[in-house]
Chains A and B, each alone.
Chain A
C-alpha cells in the first residue's frame, strides 16, 4: 500500500473509517506493559480462539472492504493500570476490569452476542457503586485527553486504524496548506511548552532551528523517560506510535529537517517493538521516506536505543549517546538548536510534546488555548502512582488542582493518611499537607509549581502516606542521582556523594543538627555550580523535604526516632504483653536469639541483641509486636 497524494490519503481514510464503523462490535484489549504483565495477551489469543470455535466472524486486521465482524484489537493504555488487565467494548464504552482468560467465553457469549453486561467484571468504587460506561468512572470523568486521545480507543499496531480516525491528516495539512513559518507560528500561538520537564516554549525552539542556514538538520525525540515513577511517554510510544511519528514529521516540515531519531530507553522493549513496526508500516505507505504524498518533502526516521543512563535525558548527553559516545553533557552554548546531533542544528523534544503537535495543527492554536492557563496551554499527562487507590496514567488540563487529581481521579490515599506527593522525580520536590502548609489547592502547571520550589518534571506523581518517611525518601532520591551522576563535573560528582553520606548517617541514627545546615549549604553550592540539569536539580528533593518536613529530620537527629517507622536503624520492636500469648513463634524465628520468655507467658525482646530484621513481627499471628 503506497499512498501517493493527499487525495489518496483522504480517500483511503474514508474507506477505512467506513470499514471501522461497519464492525458490529470492537473488543479493545489493553496491551501495554502493565496489562501485558497481568496477562492481557493471553486474553487476546483466547478471544480469537473462542470466536473461531463459535464461528463468529472475527476481524483482527482492518481491511479496506467493509466487513461486518467483531474487531479484536490490541489497544494502547487505557490508563487505569490498577485494574489491569482492562478490556473496553465498543460501541457503548463498556469497561471490564481485572479480566482473566477464563472470563473470555462468558464475555463473548453474553456481551458480544447478546448485549448482556457481566456484573462481576464492571468497575466498582470503594463504596461498591457500579460503573458500566468508561466515561462515568470518576477516574476518567475529570480527565481531558489530547496527547492520549487515541490510547485505548484504536488498535495500537495498525496504521490502517490510525488513518481511519484521521491520522496523518495533520501532516498533510502541514505539507500542503502551511509554510514552515506558518507551522512555527501556530505552535508558538498555541503556547505549547516542552513536556519533558523544562517547559521551554516549543515554538521558540522550532523557530531557532528554522533560522539556521545549515542544509542538514535533525529532529530528535527524547523517549529516555528515566524519572523513576513516570511512564507517560512509554504509554504513548507503545499505544499511539504513529502519533509520535506524525508529530516528528511535522517538526521536520516546520524546521526543514529531513532526518529523525527516536531515542528510547532500554527498559522499554515493547515501545521499541511497536515503534519499529509503526516506522516500517509508515515507510511502506509512503508516509515516511522520499517525496511524502508527492509533496517533494523527504523525511526518514530511525530508532536509537539507550543503554541505561538517566543523564541521557539531558539534551547534549542524549545526542552524544546517539553518536555512539559516553552520554555526558557538554558545556553550552552552543545550544542544541545550533549544534546538536552530529554538530548540526537539532530540534529535540519529548514524546508527549510531539503528541500534542498533530491536534494543534489540525484544530488550531485557538482551540488548544481553551485548555490550561495563560502561557501554558493544553494538558499534561501524569503517571499517578505510589500509595493511591487508582494508580494509572491520566491527562488533565494544565492548572488542575492537586486535590482533584489525588482525590477525584486517584480515589484518595490507599490505607493511610495523605502526607505528600513527590512531583518531578529526582529533580522535583514535594507538595504536601503539614501543620503549616497545605498544597492541595495548588494548580499543577509550570509557573505555579516553580514558585514553590517544585516542578512538573516529566509528570511523575508519587503519592506518599504517613507510613513513608520523608528523610528516607530524600535519601532514596539522592542515592538515585548519585548513581546516575555521570562524573564529569566536580560539584555533582562529589557534592551528591557527600549529601548522600550525610543523609545515610541521618537515617541510621548518626546525624547531628549541624548536618542539616551542611545539607543546605551543599545543596546551594551544587545547584549553583553543576554543569547540567541533572546536577542543578539534584538537591531539589532534599531542599524541599527539609523545608516542609524539618520536624521529621529533627526527630531523626535529636530524638533518634523515625516517626514513620521506616528507618530500620531507628526502629525498636516491642512486644505488647497484653496481646502476647506466649506461643514462642517469634523466639523461634529470631535469627539472633534476642527474644526470650516462658511458654504461654508474654515474651520480651533484648534490644541490645536485636538486629531489627522484623522477622518476629512478620511471624506473629496475634499482632502483638509493634515497631516505633
Chain B
C-alpha cells in the first residue's frame, strides 16, 4: 500500500494530466523523474486511477527503454554508442566504466547503489563524439583516461559527503 504522502505526490501528477489514459507515458515519465524508477505499487495505483489494466501499464512500461522497473544508482552514467561515437571508439570508454565500477550489462548498478552504467543509442551530440552523460550532464570527447578522472572526482565528492 502507498503511504498518504506518496499518494498525494502521484495524485498531483495525475491531476496535471487530467487523468487522461493517453498520457500514461508522460505520467510515468514524471513518476520516474521523482523516484528514478517505476516502483511496482505505484504502477498498480496508476493503472487503477487511469482505469486501465495492470497488464496494459506493465506492457507500456516494459516496451520503452527509458523506463526502469528497478532502482538505479545515484549517478546514472549513460555512454553513447551511436554510430558516430562507435566509430570514434566509444566501446573502450564503456568498458573502462564497467571495469572500474565492476558492473556488467546484466547487473548495471554498483552494490552500494551509487552508480548505474547504461548505453544509449544516440544523444545527437555526434559532433563531440564520443560522449557520455552523468545525470544528464554531457561530457564531450571522452577517453578512457577521462573516465578514470571523472569517476575519481565523483567518488571524492561522495566521500566528502
With contacts A36-B138, A308-B64 taken as known, whether A387 is within 8 angstroms of B88 at the C-beta atoms is: yes
Q: Inside 8 A of B86's CB, which chain A residues have their CB?
A: 228, 473, 476
**B88 contacts which chain A residues (CB < 8 A)?**
386-387
A223-250 vs B, Cβ < 8 Å mask (1 yes, 0 no): 0011111110010000000000000000
A259 to B21, CA, bound (A): 18
B140 interface contact, C-beta 8 A: yes
The 0/1 profile, CB within 8 Å of B marked 1, for residues 290-312 of chain A is 00000000000000111111100
The answer to whether A266 touches B29 (Cβ under 8 A) is yes
- Kindly state whether residue A158 has any CB partner on chain B within 8 Å: no
Contact B82–A229 (Cβ < 8 Å): yes
Complex interface: chain A residues within 8 A of B63 (CB): 309, 326-328, 486
Could you tell me the distance between the alpha carbons of A386 and B122 in the complex, rounded to whole angstroms? 13
Q: Which residue of B28, B65, B67, B83 contacts A462 across the interface (Cβ within 8 Å)?
A: B83
Closest A residue to B83 by beta carbon equals A229
Contact B83 A326 (CB under 8 A): no
Bitwise, B45-75 to A at CB < 8 A (1) or not (0) is 0000000000000011001111100000000
- Tell me which residues across on chain A come within 8 A of B37, comparing CB atoms: none
B129 and A391 contacting across the interface, CB-CB below 8 Å: yes
Interface residues of B in 115-161 (CB under 8 A from A): 120-129, 131, 136, 138-140
Q: Is B7 an interface residue (CB 8 A)?
A: no
Within 8 A of B (CB), among A371-408: 383, 385-387, 391-393
Cβ–Cβ contact B121 & A310, under 8 A: yes
Please, which residues of chain A bring their CB within 8 A of the CB of B29?
Answer: 266, 305, 307
Bound CA–CA A486/B125 (angstroms): 25
A234 to B67, CA, bound (A): 22
- Residue on A nearest B24 in the bound complex, by CB: A324
Q: Does B84 contact A (CB under 8 A)?
A: yes
Whether B22 sits at the interface, judged by CB under 8 Å, is yes
Which B residues are in CB contact (< 8 Å) with A226? 121-122
- Which of B24, B83, B127 is A460 in contact with, Cβ under 8 Å? B83
**A interface size (C-beta, 8 A):** 56
B12 within 8 A of A: no
Query: Which residues of chain A have C-beta atoms less than 8 A from B84's C-beta?
Result: 228-229, 383, 385-386, 391, 460, 462
Q: Given known contacts A33-B123, A322-B22, A324-B25, is B65 in contact with A309 (CB within 8 Å)?
A: yes
Give the docked Cα–Cα distance between A364 and B73 (Å).
Answer: 54
Specify which chain B residues have a CB less than 8 angstroms from the CB of A36 in the assembled complex: 138
* Contact A228 B122, CB 8 Å, known A33-B138, A34-B127: yes
A228-B82, A386-B87, A476-B83 known; A324 and B60 CB under 8 Å? yes
Q: Which residues of A contact B (CB under 8 A)?
A: 33-34, 36-38, 81-82, 84, 225-231, 234, 266-269, 304-310, 321-328, 383, 385-387, 391-393, 422, 425, 460, 462-464, 468, 473, 476-477, 480, 483-484, 486
- Would you list 20 pairs from A and B whose C-beta atoms are within 8 A, ordered by A residue? A33-B124, A37-B125, A38-B140, A84-B127, A226-B122, A229-B83, A229-B84, A231-B125, A269-B136, A324-B22, A326-B60, A327-B63, A383-B126, A385-B127, A387-B88, A393-B127, A460-B83, A460-B126, A468-B87, A476-B86
3 nearest interchain CB pairs?
A81-B127, A228-B82, A307-B64
